[in-house]
Structure formats: structure tokens, C-alpha cells
């Protein structure tokens, strides 16, 4: 995970984003969303920058970042595996998928594998209940799964 | 205008997109090009058809042929046979679309026959990314009528008379909310839309946003006119990328057509709309928490009163309704309050969209008149339980609702009936469970959810739900003690009575309703250390049945030497020694080891 995310280029992009939203009401959330896209996470260094630019206490920004589950303080793995734990997926055996992924990708829930390749999250309902149980790997969606489908999916990445 | 002899509708909802409808659209484009049909056949990517289970779905009009589970390989056949030669490819149709060799159109299939679509009327019919298609289906006609023919008071009166109630959970009369906001004092007012559909298993709002986004824009403009606002916000959860994209496209188009902005329909009415993204917090579906989140703060609820209608966004009067509620509004304006009030039951008017999921044959989205019974929904529209299993319960209302048992299946669905059954309408998720689901485990699942999502502001919810979860964990792990069930009940009552917002006040419902209808399952866990459904690992014991041939494979596989028996004779597991690893089950060639 030696990737340096604090490049000048990234901070330059952040400047543009802040300039775009500055002065708008409720500007913080859109800025954090875009910051996360740029840096892959919203670490303290980024929060400090936002705090200075918006003239807003760092504590308040940290409070918002840690309140919402989509913002993360640390970078995620290259491939984020999201297993839906909505009710429809749960009653159809999503827990078994999680157990299998943990074993195969060597990753814990909400953790990242040692090689930085996979992160595993138990997501909220993504609304694909018709295909339950469902998992996502970055933008790809896999539905109607059984435990034995998991090795094939992991092997693709 | 160009005329086409056939229209091919491809579902572009999240469900079908996940099962590959984009590559199907591409394949159709290539085939139509190849056969020179591009001028005769029009491809339309629509919103959700509802029957996600059968996805990806393709419908060919004018016949209404319902192709299900379509694969890229099938496209050449559909094009050559159906589109070129006019012969419907029967073997690719949805299984229920062919009955005794008679081909039925999509509207004759059981899943659709009993439905009545008001909020979903354009979903799966029009191209959501093309404003002209919405306009062709009477789109923005209601807004024109309101702005040019009706006073603000008349609009509010119409909504009140229609009997429309909030579709997001509580079921508060919408017209009253409009009136409160209208009467509230303030130089600036806002209208907001709650599209933070967080209940697991509910996706009706997403389908409206994906399939008919202009209906929401039109309705919010009508509401803005009625209450006296010029700015609206739609708060959408970030987990819905397709919905956000389509809504943004729709907003841009509406601006281009002068349907948002200044001087709409040549009047002095102005209104604009902005999307605000959530960031993954269930509590933001609660109205005051949602307002905080739009303002860019932590999404924690505020004490009520004052209600948002008096002090909402930035302390200004704010009208807040959910997506489905708004989606009904243009229809009510066009067809009149009486038309709407004639649908449904005495106190619950109109239709309701439900997302049917879990152990059911036809999973998907459906819209039915209020007053339809649960049995009709589950067994007629939903097609019953798969694999010949027994129906056990249906969960409605998500983490705020409860489980309804088989004995109550003939109850007509409306707000008040569901509450008297100990559940609630909620946003409309409906998860069906069969005999293999353990009700204690399901109650634990929901509590786990609320503990995770509790914002932490008020102690009853923050601490109370945690204590309830600990008790349920203890029970499902097999350490339940006498008195635990009573403790659960007491905690539940206290949390309900003393929590600040709707999340905490309803969090105990899944446990209370499970106790009401399935108390014997809790008792079996606590007193007899058994899980009747065979789900809770900690309570299961492995047993060897008569199918055992005495091959001794299990004895060798067991890591703790818990299995004994002579060669070629029945083996026995010492349940005290057994660590329930399941190694013996995997090894047994005769499937003679079972969990009980």
C-alpha cells in the first residue's frame, strides 16, 4: 500500500472541487464525496485542507466523515467486494458468501487483504433483491449466487 | 415524426442491468443494423418492469411478447424470427406467458393482472432519459393545469380530498402536511424529497427514479407552487448510481424545456431542483436527520416539534415527502381527488408499491390497490413459495416493522391493519420467509442492523438496542436463560416509549412481533436449547441416521474423536464432545449425517 495519494496533482483537483462548491449551502458533503473519488479516501490531511478553505472547524468535518459509512479514512483495496446484507439477501444465504470470501481472499469484513488487493464490506441493501443474494466487485454485480460461485468470481480479479 | 412497426423495450433498471441488459441492448443494435431494420424497429431502454426475477427482460410491442432471462445468444433468433418474420419465439418467452399453447401478452400474466399502476405507470413503458416520451404520456400536463387553472388552495384541497398518505413509512396525510407548510410563516420555503430508501429489501423509490424521474420533478414543482416555494432538494442515497444519473439527466432536460427555472408555462412561477447525495446512513431516512444531512451536517435527528413544515431546512418551512408519495400527485391532479379516493380502503386510499423478495417465486416490484390481501400478493401475484416449502411469515416495514404469520394472510393490506398486526407499511419492502428461516435469527438480524445504524444521540436507542442485541446473541448461541425473554420485552417497551426519533421508537418492533407470533420458537431456544428451523449453529447437534453403512470415514474425519462405532455398523456422535465443525458431513458418502 505504498501508493502515495498525497500528490500535488490530487490536491490541485481538490482545489478545483472546493472552489466549485465554496459559498453554496450544505457544501461539505458534495466536497467530501468528490474528495473521496480523488484520493480514494478522506484522510486527515484532506480534511485539514477542506477545513481551512471552508473556514470550518476540523472537528466538525471529522464528525461528518466518521458519521457516514461511505466515507473512509484509509484507502481501500484495488477491488472492493461488497456483499449485500439486506434482508432479502440475508434470508437467501448471504452470510455463507461472506464466510467463503473471507477464507478465499484472506480478508476480514471491513478490512483489506495484506497485499492490498481486496477489501470486503457487508453493504446495505443495494436494491437488487430480485437477484438475491448479490455481491459487487467494484462496479460489477453478481447475482443469484451460491457459495460455490465465489471461487470463480475471486479468480477473475 | 417517424413511425416504427415494432418497439423493443429493454429493461434498464438496476436488477436487469446487473444481469446484463446492457450487452443485450448492444446485441439488438447490431442485429437490427445487420438486417436493415433500424428504421422499422425502435429500441427503448426503459425503467424497471417489476419482475426482476425474470431478468433481463425484453418486451416486444405491439404483441406485448414477454421474453425473460434473455441471453445475448438469443438476440439473433428474436430478431430473425420475431422482428423479421413475425413469428414469436415461444420457447424464449416467460414461462407463464405460454399456457396450453396459448401465448399471453405481458398484461395477461398473473404477476401483472392483479396490479394497478399509478405511481409506476410509466416504469417499463417510457424511455426515462427522453423527456418527450414522458410528455407524450400526459407528462407535465398536471403542472400546466395547476399553474394556469388552479389556485394554491385548490391544489392543497385536492390532495387533502384524495386521501393520499405518506408512502415512506408513517402514513401521515399528505394534504395536511402541504397545508401546514403553506400556512407556515417564512420569507423562504423549501420542498424536499426523501429518496433515502434505506430499508433493506425496498427498492420502489429507486424504480421510480430510474424509470420515471420526470414524474417526481413535475410533482415537486406542483408542491412548490402549492406551498409557495422556489427551491427543491432531492436527497438520494449514494448507493443508487443509476437513479442519480437519470434524475440529473431529467432535471437538465426539464431546465432546457423551461419546465424548471423562471417563468414556467408563461406564469411568474419559478422553481429549481437540486440533488443532494447521502453517504450511507440509514437514520437519514428519518425526516429531521435528512434535513441535517442536506445541510451538510451529521445526520442526527432533531427533536420534534417544531416539525419541518414549520422549521425545516435552514430553519425555514419545508415540505418533505417521499418519492412514491410525490409520484401519485400528477395523477391525482389530472384525474381528480375522487378518482384516487375511489381506489383502496376507507382510510388508506390509492395504491401501494411493494418490493417482494426473499423466499418467493416472483421476486420484484408490484403495485396493488390498498385492501388487497397478503395472500393475493404472495400466492397469486408472487406465485407462492419455491421448492415446495411451507410459508412461515412475511416481513413488512423493514427494521421498523414486523413479521406476519400465515394465520393473518387474509388481512387486507392498509396502514391501520398492518399496525394492528404489530407491523407497519413502512416503505413497502415485503420479505417472505419459509420454514427454513428461524424467527429468532431474523429478529437478531434486524437488531444488528439498528444497532449499527443508531446515530447515538439518545441513550434508549444507543444503549437499549445494544442490550437487546446482546440478549438475542446469547439466545441464538444457546446460552439463553430463564427470564431473558421477559427482559427483552421490557427493554423493547422502554425503547419504544423513550427514543427520540422514529428509528428508535420502532427498532424493537421486529422482536416484539416475532415474540407475539413465534414465542414458542424463542422458548425452544431458551428452555430446550433447540432451534426448530435448524439455523442457529450454536444450538444444532449432528446426528447419524439409519443411512449409515459403517464405512468409518466420519470417524477418521472427526478432529475430536467424537464419533464411535464398529465397521459396517451404525455410528454414533457424542454430542458433548462434538465441536460442530461439520467435517463428518462433508466426508459421509451416504449423506447420513444431519443437523438437528
The domain spans of chain A are: 8-67, 79-155
Query: Are residues B131 and B253 in contact, defined by beta-carbon separation less than 8 angstroms?
Result: yes
Tens of pLDDT, residues B455-485: 999 999 999 999 999 999 999 999 999 999 9
Query: Are residues B184 and B309 in contact, defined by beta-carbon separation less than 8 angstroms?
Result: yes
Instruction: State the architecture of B131-341 in CATH terms.
Output: 3-Layer(aba) Sandwich (3.40)
How many whole angstroms separate alpha carbon B95 and alpha carbon B108? 13
Min Cα separation A90/chain B (Å): 8
Tens of pLDDT, residues B532-544: 998 888 888 888 9
Residues from chain A that touch B202, judged by Cβ atoms under 8 A, are 125, 127
How many whole angstroms separate alpha carbon B230 and alpha carbon B242? 27
**A32 in contact with B, Cβ within 8 Å:** yes
The fold of the B541-595 domain, in CATH, is: Alpha-Beta Plaits (3.30.70)
Q: What is the pLDDT of residue B241?
A: 86
B61 burial class (0-12, 13-18, 19+ CB within 10 angstroms)?
middle
How many whole angstroms separate alpha carbon B58 and alpha carbon B217? 27
Mean pLDDT (chain B) is: 93
Mean pLDDT of the B423-452 span: 92
Q: Which residues pair with B573 in a beta bridge?
A: B563
Which of B201, B276, B537 should we substitute to test contact with A (largest number of A Cβ atoms within 10 Å)?
Answer: B201
Tens of pLDDT, residues A21-43: 998 999 999 999 999 999 989 99
Tens of pLDDT, residues B545-557: 999 999 999 999 8
Query: Are residues B46 and B123 in contact, defined by beta-carbon separation less than 8 angstroms?
Result: yes
Kindly report the backbone phi and psi dihedral angles of residue B542, in degrees, each rounded to the nearest multiple of 5, phi listed first: -90, 140
**B281 in contact with A, Cβ within 8 Å:** yes
Residue A149 has pLDDT above 80, yes or no: yes
Q: What is the pLDDT of residue A67?
A: 95
One DSSP character per residue, B328-361 reads HHHHHHHH-HHHHHTSB-SSSBSEEEEEEEES-S
Query: Are residues B278 and B244 in contact, defined by beta-carbon separation less than 8 angstroms?
Result: no
Tens of pLDDT, residues A133-147: 999 998 888 888 998
**A5 in contact with B, Cβ within 8 Å:** no
One DSSP character per residue, B182-242 reads HHS--S--EEEEEE---STT--HHHHHHHH-HHHHHHHHHHHHHHHT-SEEEEEE-TT-HH
**B586 in contact with A, Cβ within 8 Å:** no
**C-alpha dist (Å) from residue B304 to B52, B177, B244, B502:** 39, 14, 30, 11
The fold of the A79-155 domain, in CATH, is: Glutaredoxin (3.40.30)
**C-alpha dist (Å) from residue B407 to B167, B420, B433:** 26, 14, 14
**B361 in contact with A, Cβ within 8 Å:** no
Kindly report the backbone phi and psi dihedral angles of residue B13, in degrees, each rounded to the nearest multiple of 5, phi listed first: -75, 170
Among the residue ranges A102-111, B24-33, B138-147, B333-342, the one predicted with the least confidence is A102-111
How many whole angstroms separate alpha carbon B38 and alpha carbon B591? 57
Tens of pLDDT, residues B283-321: 999 999 999 999 999 999 999 999 999 999 999 999 999
Tens of pLDDT, residues B53-70: 888 999 999 999 999 999
Mapped onto helix, strand or coil, the DSSP state of residue B481 is coil
Which contiguous run of DSSP H or E holds residue B427? none
Q: What is the 3-state secondary structure (H, E, C) of B539-584?
A: HCCEEECCCCCCCCHHHHHCCCCCEECCCCCCCEECCCCCCCCCHH
Q: How far is CA B220 from the centre of its chain?
A: 22
How many whole angstroms separate alpha carbon B469 and alpha carbon B460? 13
Residue B595 has pLDDT above 90, yes or no: no
Length of chain B: 596
Q: Which residues contact A118 (CB under 8 A, 6 or more apart)?
A: A77, A78, A79, A80, A81, A105, A106, A107, A112, A154, A157
How many whole angstroms separate alpha carbon B586 and alpha carbon B591? 8
Split at pLDDT 50, 70, 90, the class of B231 is: very high
Q: What is the pLDDT of residue B442?
A: 93
Closest residue to A28, CB basis, from B51, B281, B296: B296
Residues from chain B that touch A142, judged by Cβ atoms under 8 A, are 18
Per CATH, the number for B6-109 is 3.40.30.10
Closest residue to B364, CB basis, from A26, A64, A130: A130
Establish, for the pair of chains A and B, how many residue pairs have beta carbons separated by less than 8 Å. 130
**C-alpha dist (Å) from residue B230 to B14, B195, B222, B223, B544:** 32, 20, 11, 10, 72
Tens of pLDDT, residues A80-119: 999 998 888 888 889 889 999 999 989 999 888 988 899 9
Q: What is the pLDDT of residue B352?
A: 96
Q: What is the pLDDT of residue B299?
A: 95
Q: What is the pLDDT of residue A1?
A: 45
* CB neighbourhood size of B553 (10 A): 17
Helices (H), B268-422: 287-294, 323-335, 337-341, 374-375, 415-420
Query: Are residues B143 and B259 in contact, defined by beta-carbon separation less than 8 angstroms?
Result: yes
Among the residue ranges B49-63, B151-165, B316-330, B397-411, the one predicted with the least confidence is B49-63
Q: Name the percent of chain A in helix, strand, coil, to the closest 5.
A: 50, 15, 40
Domain ranges, ordered by start, for chain B: 6-109, 131-341, 351-434, 439-527, 541-595
Q: What is the pLDDT of residue A3?
A: 67
Min Cα separation B419/chain A (Å): 20
Min Cα separation B296/chain A (Å): 4
CATH 2.60.40.420 for domain B439-527, yes or no, is: no
How many whole angstroms separate alpha carbon A102 and alpha carbon A125? 20
Q: Which of residues 9-38 of B touch A (CB under 8 A)?
A: 14-15, 17-19
How many whole angstroms separate alpha carbon A68 and alpha carbon B543? 46
Residues from chain A that touch B206, judged by Cβ atoms under 8 A, are 127
Kindly report the backbone phi and psi dihedral angles of residue B88, in degrees, each rounded to the nearest multiple of 5, phi listed first: -65, 135
Mean pLDDT of the B373-377 span: 96
pTM value is: 0.91
Between chains, do B295 and A25 touch, taking CB under 8 Å as contact?
A: yes
Q: Which residue reads 393545469 in cell numbers?
A: B145
CATH 1.10.3210.50 for domain B351-434, yes or no, is: no
**B431 in contact with A, Cβ within 8 Å:** yes
Identify whether B56 is preceded by a cis peptide bond (ω within 30 of 0).
Answer: yes
Split at pLDDT 50, 70, 90, the class of A130 is: confident
Closest residue to B18, CB basis, from A25, A71, A128: A128
Amino acid at each position: 500500500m505504498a501508493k502515495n495519494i498525497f500528490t500535488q496533482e490530487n490536491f490541485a483537483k481538490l482545489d478545483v472541487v472546493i472552489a466549485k462548491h465554496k459559498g453554496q449551502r450544505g457544501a461539505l458533503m458534495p466536497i467530501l464525496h468528490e474528495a473521496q473519488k480523488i484520493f480514494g479516501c478522506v484522510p486527515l490531511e484532506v480534511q485539514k485542507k477542506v477545513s481551512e478553505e471552508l473556514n470550518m472547524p476540523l472537528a466538525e468535518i471529522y464528525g461528518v466523515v466518521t458519521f457516514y459509512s461511505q466515507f473512509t479514512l484509509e484507502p481501500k483495496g484495488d477491488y472492493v467486494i461488497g456483499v449485500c446484507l439486506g434482508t432479502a439477501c440475508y434470508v437467501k444465504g448471504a452470510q455463507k458468501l461472506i464466510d467463503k470470501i473471507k477464507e478465499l481472499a484472506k480478508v476480514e469484513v471491513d478490512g483489506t487483504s495484506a497485499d492490498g488487493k481486496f477489501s470486503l464490506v457487508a453493504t446495505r441493501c443495494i436494491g437488487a433483491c430480485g437477484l438475491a443474494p448479490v455481491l459487487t466487485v467494484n462496479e460489477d454485480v453478481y447475482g443469484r449466487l451460491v457459495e460455490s460461485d465465489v471461487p470463480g468470481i475471486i479468480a477473475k480479479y | 415524426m417517424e413511425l416504427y412497426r415494432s418497439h423493443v423495450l429493454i429493461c434498464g433498471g438496476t436488477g436487469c442491468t446487473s444481469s446484463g441488459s446492457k450487452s443485450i441492448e448492444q446485441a439488438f443494435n447490431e442485429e437490427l443494423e445487420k438486417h436493415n431494420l433500424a428504421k422499422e424497429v425502435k429500441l427503448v431502454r426503459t425503467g424497471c418492469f417489476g419482475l426482476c426475477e425474470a431478468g433481463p427482460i425484453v418486451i416486444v410491442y405491439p404483441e406485448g411478447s414477454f421474453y425473460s432471462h434473455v441471453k445475448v445468444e438469443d438476440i439473433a433468433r428474436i430478431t430473425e424470427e420475431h422482428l423479421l418474420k413475425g413469428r414469436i419465439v415461444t420457447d424464449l418467452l416467460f414461462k407463464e406467458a405460454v399456457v396450453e399453447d396459448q401465448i399471453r401478452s405481458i398484461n395477461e400474466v398473473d404477476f401483472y393482472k392483479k396490479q394497478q399502476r399509478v405511481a409506476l405507470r410509466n416504469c417499463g413503458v417510457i424511455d426515462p432519459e427522453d423527456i418527450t416520451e414522458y410528455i407524450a404520456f400526459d407528462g407535465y400536463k398536471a403542472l400546466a393545469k395547476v399553474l394556469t387553472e388552479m389556485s394554491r388552495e385548490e391544489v392543497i384541497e385536492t390532495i387533502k380530498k384524495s386521501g393520499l398518505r405518506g408512502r415512506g413509512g408513517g402514513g401521515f396525510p399528505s394534504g395536511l402536511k402541504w397545508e401546514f407548510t403553506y400556512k407556515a410563516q417564512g420569507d423562504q420555503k423549501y420542498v424536499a424529497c426523501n429518496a433515502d430508501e434505506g430499508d433493506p429489501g425496498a427498492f420502489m423509490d429507486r424504480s421510480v427514479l430510474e424509470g420515471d424521474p420526470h414524474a417526481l420533478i413535475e410533482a415537486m414543482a406542483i408542491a412548490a407552487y402549492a406551498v409557495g416555494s422556489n427551491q427543491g432538494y432531492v436527497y438520494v442515497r449514494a448507493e443508487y448510481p443509476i437513479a442519480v444519473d437519470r434524475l440529473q439527466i431529467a432535471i437538465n432536460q426539464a431546465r432546457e424545456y423551461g419546465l424548471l427555472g423562471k417563468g414556467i408555462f408563461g406564469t411568474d412561477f419559478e422553481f429549481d431542483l437540486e440533488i443532494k447525495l447521502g453517504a450511507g446512513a440509514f437514520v437519514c431516512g428519518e425526516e429531521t436527520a435528512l434535513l441535517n444531512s442536506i445541510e451538510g451536517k451529521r445526520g442526527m435527528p432533531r427533536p420534534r416539534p417544531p416539525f419541518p413544515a414549520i422549521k425545516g431546512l435552514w430553519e425555514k418551512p419545508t415540505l418533505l415527502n417521499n418519492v412514491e408519495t410525490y409520484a401519485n400527485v400528477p395523477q391525482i391532479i389530472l384525474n381528480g381527488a375522487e378518482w384516487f379516493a375511489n381506489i383502496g380502503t376507507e382510510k388508506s386510499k390509492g395504491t401501494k408499491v411493494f418490493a417482494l423478495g426473499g423466499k418467493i417465486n416472483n421476486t420484484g416490484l408490484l403495485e396493488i390497490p390498498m385492501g388487497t390481501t397478503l395472500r393475493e400478493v404472495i400466492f397469486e401475484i408472487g406465485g407462492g413459495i419455491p421448492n415446495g416449502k411451507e410459508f412461515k411469515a412475511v416481513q413488512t416495514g423493514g427494521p421498523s416493522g414486523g413479521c406476519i404469520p400465515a394465520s393473518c394472510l387474509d388481512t387486507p393490506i392498509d396502514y391501520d391493519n398492518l399496525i394492528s398486526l404489530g407491523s407497519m407499511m413502512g416503505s413497502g419492502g415485503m420479505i417472505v420467509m419459509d420454514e427454513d428461516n428461524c424467527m429468532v435469527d431474523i429478529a437478531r438480524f434486524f437488531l444488528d442492523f439498528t444497532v449499527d445504524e443508531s446515530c447515538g444521540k439518545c441513550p434508549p436507542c444507543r444503549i437499549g438496542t445494544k442490550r437487546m442485541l446482546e440478549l438475542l446473541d446469547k439466545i441464538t448461541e444457546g446460552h439463553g436463560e430463564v427470564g431473558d425473554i421477559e427482559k427483552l420485552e421490557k427493554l423493547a417497551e422502554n425503547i419504544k416509549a423513550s427514543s427520540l426519533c422514529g428509528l428508535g421508537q420502532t427498532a424493537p418492533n421486529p422482536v416484539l412481533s416475532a415474540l407475539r407470533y413465534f414465542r414458542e420458537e424463542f422458548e425452544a431456544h431458551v428452555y430446550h436449547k433447540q432451534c426448530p428451523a435448524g439455523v442457529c449453529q450454536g444450538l444444532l447437534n449432528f446426528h447419524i441416521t439409519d443411512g449409515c453403512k459403517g464405512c468409518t470415514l466420519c470417524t477418521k474425519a472427526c478432529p475430536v474423536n467424537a464419533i464411535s462405532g464398529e465397521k459396517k455398523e451404525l455410528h454414533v456422535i457424542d454430542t458433548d464432545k462434538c465441536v460442530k465443525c461439520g467435517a463428518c458431513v462433508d466426508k459421509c458418502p451416504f449423506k447420513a449425517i444431519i443437523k438437528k
